[in-house]
Structure 1
Amino acid sequence: MARNPATADDGRLTGTAVDAVVFDVFGTVVDWRTDVAGEFERVGTRVGAQADWMELTTEWRSLYPPTLLRVVSGEIPWQSLDGLHRMMLDELLAKHGLTEFSDTDRAELVQAWHRLRPWPDSPDGLSQLRETHITATLSNGSIGLLIQLARTGGLPFDTILSAELIHSYKPDPKVYLMAAEQLGVSPQRLLMTACHVEDLRAAADAGLRTAYIPRPLEWGPDRPAPAAPDWVDLTATDISDLARQLAR
């Protein structure tokens, strides 16, 4: 029987089946936890507040999925991710009675999401991947935020795509299909790459291919990454590993 050129002998997806690769950014390409917690501690110390800053950062991030779903469902109107981060931060600080933070302090903390450092493999891995495939972000972050992360982190994406372009958020299937349309490829030849299984599930349901990178620190130092689901097309240890697999 002739071999399918889209799969290796072991059935895994090969690079010939993919025209472009899009990436979740927060957690998959950049480390949000370390840098946001560091900014929380810096600003909190300055204003005289006391808290477990790492835990507070984790809780801030935990508000992210349900808040985005409220936008996708139409419960609340669309606004930029900065606006949603500020809304979530206000809710978080009120819950913990942290009244020391002024409007200026809170705006500074929201901007921390614009200054996240990449994982060590991200710049070189993206450079390797660009030799064979189109690369782009596909993030809920705003275009301006993503450009800042790419420029300061040396992240050589071919282009920046954001859910902002259609005033929605992942996991809305329209976001994934928008990426395929913008890149001029069919959904079946577009590979969504993320460390979040729920992002990949939504992408797969929209007809995209999927690659899982289980970043060990995404869920905190004491929690392992979820196991790779059996329905994902590829699993890679990092972006460099993904580039090597897709170069086959």
Structure 2
Amino acid sequence: MTHRPAVVFDIGGTLLDSTGTVQAECHAVLSPVLGTTAAAEFAAAWQHRVEARTAEIVAGQAPWAPSERLQHEGLAGLLPRYDLEVGGVQYEALNGAGSRSQAFPDAAAGLASLAEHAQVIGLTNTDLAASSASCAGTGLRWHALLSTDSERTLKPRPEAYLQPERRLGINPARSWFVAAHPWDLRGAAETGYRSVYLPRPHADGPEPEDDFDATVASLEELLALVTGGAA
């Protein structure tokens, strides 16, 4: 057991700009053949399909599937609407975007600074292989990286948040859970974590009734919060 404070992070949308990466890749690949407006519409529709399938799984209306399969199914199902072929040039260029997410500018350095004072743990809905590839490619370094795919579940299902405690001995009541997604923070709080909201582009904002333990504008502010300003 460690006496260092533990900070559990959501990754996609909080440290990795998953949405922005998909938008940029769709613009680069599809704008030459569809135009800028249609490329942006494609990116939004692709993400909506994945989010809808994820919501069905969380609600128990569909069987669990790994995130990369959901991404692939969303892409393959959308291409014919734009007269593009599964297996074609655009498909090959966009498939696997989940392994290429780019980090927010402050993520790598902020995480490294925090790791000097706390145990930093990633907990993601993304496949472990895809998340590991994105983290390696962007310089995000963890003391532990966990994926809900090992439990065949998805956040915000309550069992998804039990992994840090069960696998690493983390006490949620003494730990921080950091996310840009209010729904993720609600799920973490329900399992005993102290919730920290870190606003990011492309993430939905809080509801009026949301009551997080803390809100920080940057990873630098998070470091001060976790260390009591002693960093």
For 1:63 and 1:100, how far apart are their aligned partners in 2?
17
> What is residue 90 of structure 1 aligned with on the other side?
76
Q: Name the amino acid aligned to 2:221.
A: D
Which of 15, 20, 41 is equivalent to 1:29? 15
For 2:155 and 2:143, how far apart are their aligned partners in 1?
21
Within the alignment, does 1:52 sit opposite 2:45 as a pair? no
Structure with bigger strand share is 2
For 1:107 and 1:77, how far apart are their aligned partners in 2?
27
For 1:158 and 1:55, how far apart are their aligned partners in 2?
38
Q: CA deviation at 1:34?
A: 2.8
> What is residue 63 of structure 1 aligned with on the other side?
49
For 2:85 and 2:219, how far apart are their aligned partners in 1?
37
For 1:125 and 1:135, how far apart are their aligned partners in 2?
11
> What is residue 156 of structure 2 aligned with on the other side?
171
Q: Which runs of no fewer than 5 residues in structure 1 stay unpaired?
A: 1-16
Q: CA deviation at 1:41?
A: 2.3
Equivalent residues of 1:117, 1:149 under 8 A apart: yes
Q: CA deviation at 1:52?
A: 3.0
Q: CA deviation at 1:89?
A: 2.3
Q: CA deviation at 1:33?
A: 2.8
Q: What's the TM-score once normalised by structure 2's chain length?
A: 0.86
Q: In structure 2, the residue corresponding to 1:192 is in which secondary structure?
A: strand
> What is residue 233 of structure 1 aligned with on the other side?
213
Q: CA deviation at 1:115?
A: 1.0
Pick closer, same or farther for the CA change 1:110–1:207 going to 2, 3 Å.
farther
Equivalent residues of 2:31, 2:39 under 8 A apart: no
Q: What's the TM-score once normalised by structure 1's chain length?
A: 0.81
For 2:86 and 2:50, how far apart are their aligned partners in 1?
22
Q: Name the amino acid aligned to 1:128.
A: S
Cα displacement string for residues 125-181 of structure 1 (whole angstroms, at most 9, x for unaligned residues): 111111121111111101111111111101121111111110111111101012222
The root-mean-square deviation of aligned C-alpha atoms, in Å, is 2.3
Q: CA deviation at 1:229?
A: 6.0
Number of residue-to-residue matches in the alignment: 224
Within the alignment, does 1:19 sit opposite 2:19 as a pair? no
